[in-house]
Chain A
């Protein structure tokens, strides 16, 4: 469980976080979505107690992170995969964490194996790791002490498609056991596929949040027919919001069943009828963040 409550953080005139509130609940994967520089990393650093909050508060498992006893045993963090000493071996990095958190050192080898690093790779220095290997090491580090909560900043960066799929399964499995997962990404498809809840952030502000289903449902239905003009009139008569799609067809603010019924009554033959899921959320994401992203550059 992570609770972020009216969090604000300013750097001089720049507002990195502006009244950010959200929750990441146990048993669910919460996706933290936003373009680069939107404030995802800052919010995660405040949650982890690395950056002092300007206003508001963030708690993990009901208390500020800094007051958790032996925090590694409660919360697994991967904030930056490259923040490891280049001159240490991957195994040594994990061993240090095992000693510090008081976890059986045998778990080091188990985590190395779990994240798909070979024993030979684990004995190499982090300097020689690819970004994908660093991410895997970071995930091993986060999971090492069997935490209840995972906070991962852009963990899919540098992973190949198979690696991304592996991680998705891992996070889903972790949540299905009752764990809390908060992961950030600037890639919509990645979040959409793994998250139960989504928090969209742009320019330091939460611009949308809800369950993935809710956010997807809001995106309406895409319909193509042999006579779009007639169908459009019929839909407008039915008092449903409708707009043409540039690539042909109509975007309707109703579920596919309602659109189908209108088409049946109007006697229009449908060629395509689907919920506007991915396109819809993507457009929402672009809409919601494009302005803030531009403003972010100017700020």
Chain B
């Protein structure tokens, strides 16, 4: 049967081209791979090869023709024994075979309509994280994180820890203290200083059915590994049509510590929270550190678990339970209030809670919400609170542009605009690389005074 040779698309963007030159003539025999024509695309002049074998029966588009649409028949190829006379003149080009994309793509499920009536306050899950009357013990964040890993490692052999100095050194910040002794070198693995490489190996191990906990000595170093976190870990489930997930936890200290300068003092909460496929956790208290890390290790998705060096040594009450976990996507209201909502997470909570305490002395009642997980984010808790207080201040240590607070503000504006009595204020770190000098460093971070000042602004008091 005669085959039409069609004008090919020779680049992702080509829609038409010039048939510059024929290198064969009618009657020539061609085989697969022979160059039959030169075609000028929008990018270059390309050689066009025959795919099938046969005899060129008829050339339909003359050399030199410009603006030949992709998929136009340019020649007819005959099989053995066929003659050019067999070809009907109806060898017209079929319409482009590629189906047109349906225009009705589902709109992003974001935002409410600008004209709708003010929405009702969403129902918020305010169930306690542990039953009343549970025995409590005082623990540092550091101990809580270690206990979470140890408990999950006891429960499942697929869970292992890898990272720099996690084993014999007992952890650069002593988070993995004692794990090597209990679990041995097979499951507590010191790596060379090679973040890009061991992050990739961790992701591969997760593809292979294990549940790695990859410790970065700090998240600043994870920038060397960010390609694997985003391109390899976060996107594979989607790119594989749901076949292959990546159950992995990337954890380590994040944000500013003290006097370590610009390259070691950066908060990545906003960065990672942008990525579909990742979950992003940033605990404040020891109980949350423990409960959320256990949830992270069990989660079938890649989880970014952002800790804070300054918080490691802080003590909190932690419930004494055999298997205590905290779900993702559930904020915690640390303090109820009626005049203003302060939303924060991680170390930002220290400023938020201090400020709320001081404001209470002045008669301003602040509701303080700890997001705990940035993605998924419990926006319902924020909205319900703002609908009650009508004022919002967000607090974080990251940079101001495209901050987590910016996102929260956008959600509140779209879904609770009519409830706002004042513009939202986003408190962040300053828009500067972290300076080393003690006085400048203090100036670059959020302060309790700034939170108080912002609350006074939005409450007009």
A binds B: no
